[in-house]
């Protein structure tokens, strides 16, 4: 161990203070995404970010003064000296919802993009409707999910999904890299990468999440503002027929998917809108009209 040098220690302390001031400056000038920074602090090896006091973090945000920061900390029983990297899981989750709301207020809602959650039972034709919507509106981005299922012929890693191992999926969950995740059809895990969605949203893009009902619920609980669209079949029989004629699943898998479909259909009332996919063109136009009429709440 090198001898303790007071001059070195003082120098390091000055550097740390400078780096912290720079970080706060970036946050206040909106050069760094607020929510992403908050999330990164959980597992970072960067002592500046992990060691940033929560009240300083909050006070760097435009429109948040000492009184407001103290009120937020009090509300969640967080010690004023707590650091971003040292929050307990429950405090972190509660504070995160506040940070998401603050971030949406800082960046005017009109400049934020729209997150659109699209769910609906298997074989309802979600994908076809989405593809048609994106032909009409090529500016719309798709969130690419991570999944533990195998790629089907013709699917490409990084385009249709990120095909990952069970261990890699565990890591994504553990490190908080997923905005939501679920076991779908009782078989494989699927999850939405957090950063990509939040970045696209703050860059003003409209981003579609084609996920299942359990995932949609988690997005709602996360506090992120989103438009929730449920694609429904005209009738249950129509759905069963479509699944059969698609022929991509064996009998057991088809039965499993139909059982999930019954459950999912029951969740339609939890969504902002239900679009019936009888004719693809009509359903797609309906989604496009919804997007055009949608004004983010911004709160």
Under the binding rule (CB under 6 A), the answer on residue 212 touching ligand 5GP is: yes
Report the alpha-carbon distance of residue 293 to residue 137 in Å, rounded. Answer: 14
Part of the chain binding ligand 5GP (CB under 6 A), chosen from 39-47, 71-79, 99-107, 178-186: 178-186
Q: Which residue is nearest to ligand 5GP (CB)?
A: 215
Under the binding rule (CB under 6 A), the answer on residue 182 touching ligand 5GP is: yes
Under the binding rule (CB under 6 A), the answer on residue 148 touching ligand 5GP is: no
Query: Which of residues 60, 192, 200, 202 is near ligand 5GP by CB under 6 A?
Result: 192
Q: Are 233 and 276 in contact (CB under 8 A)?
A: yes
Part of the chain binding ligand 5GP (CB under 6 A), chosen from 6-14, 55-63, 208-216, 235-243: 208-216
- Of 34 and 243, which CB lies nearer to ligand 5GP in the complex structure? 243
CB of 281 to ligand 5GP, least distance (A): 21
Under the binding rule (CB under 6 A), the answer on residue 277 touching ligand 5GP is: no
Residue 259 in tokens: 């059982």
Under the binding rule (CB under 6 A), the answer on residue 230 touching ligand 5GP is: no
Q: Are 93 and 99 in contact (CB under 8 A)?
A: no
CB of 187 to ligand 5GP, least distance (A): 8
Under the binding rule (CB under 6 A), the answer on residue 211 touching ligand 5GP is: yes
Under the binding rule (CB under 6 A), the answer on residue 103 touching ligand 5GP is: no
Report the alpha-carbon distance of residue 69 to residue 73 in Å, rounded. Answer: 6
Report the alpha-carbon distance of residue 229 to residue 282 in Å, rounded. Answer: 15
Query: Which of residues 38, 190, 228, 230 is near ligand 5GP by CB under 6 A?
Result: 190
Provide CB contacts within 8 A for 249, sequence distance 6+.
Answer: 243, 257
Report the alpha-carbon distance of residue 223 to residue 205 in Å, rounded. Answer: 18
The values of phi and psi at residue 151, to 5°, are -70, 140
128-147 footprint of ligand 5GP as x/- string (CB under 6 A): -----------------x--
Part of the chain binding ligand 5GP (CB under 6 A), chosen from 7-15, 105-113, 134-142, 212-220: 212-220
Under the binding rule (CB under 6 A), the answer on residue 242 touching ligand 5GP is: no
Q: Which residues bind ligand 5GP (CB under 6 A)?
A: 122, 145, 149, 180-182, 184, 190-192, 210-212, 214-215
């Amino acid at each position: 161990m090198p001898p303790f040098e007071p001059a070195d220690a003082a120098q390091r302390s000055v550097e740390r203070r400078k780096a912290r001031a720079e970080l706060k400056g970036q946050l206040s000038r909106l050069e760094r995404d607020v929510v992403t920074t908050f999330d990164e602090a959980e597992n970072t090896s960067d002592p500046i970010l992990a060691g940033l006091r929560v009240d300083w973090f909050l006070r760097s945000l435009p429109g948040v003064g000492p009184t407001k920061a103290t009120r937020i900390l009090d509300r969640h029983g967080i010690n004023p000296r707590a650091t971003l990297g040292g929050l307990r899981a429950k405090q972190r989750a509660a504070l995160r919802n506040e940070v998401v709301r603050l971030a949406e207020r800082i960046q005017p809602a009109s400049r934020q993009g729209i997150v659109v959650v699209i769910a609906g039972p298997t074989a309802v034709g979600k994908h076809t409707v989405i593809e048609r919507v994106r032909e009409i509106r090529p500016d719309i981005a798709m969130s690419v999910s991570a999944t533990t299922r195998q790629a089907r012929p013709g699917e490409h890693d990084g385009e249709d999904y990120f095909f990952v191992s069970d261990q890699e999926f565990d890591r994504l969950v553990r490190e908080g890299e997923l905005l939501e995740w679920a076991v779908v059809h009782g078989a494989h895990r699927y999850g939405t990468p957090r950063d990509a969605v939040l970045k696209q949203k703050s860059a003003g893009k409209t981003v579609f999440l084609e996920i299942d009902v359990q995932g949609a619920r988690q997005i709602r609980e996360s506090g992120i503002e989103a438009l929730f669209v449920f694609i429904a079949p005209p009738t249950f029989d129509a759905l069963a027929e479509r699944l059969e004629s698609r022929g991509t699943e064996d009998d057991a898998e088809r039965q499993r998917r139909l059982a999930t479909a019954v459950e999912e259909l029951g969740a339609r009332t939890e969504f902002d809108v239900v679009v019936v996919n009888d004719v693809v063109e009509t359903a797609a136009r309906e989604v496009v009209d919804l997007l055009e009429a949608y004004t983010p709440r911004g709160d």
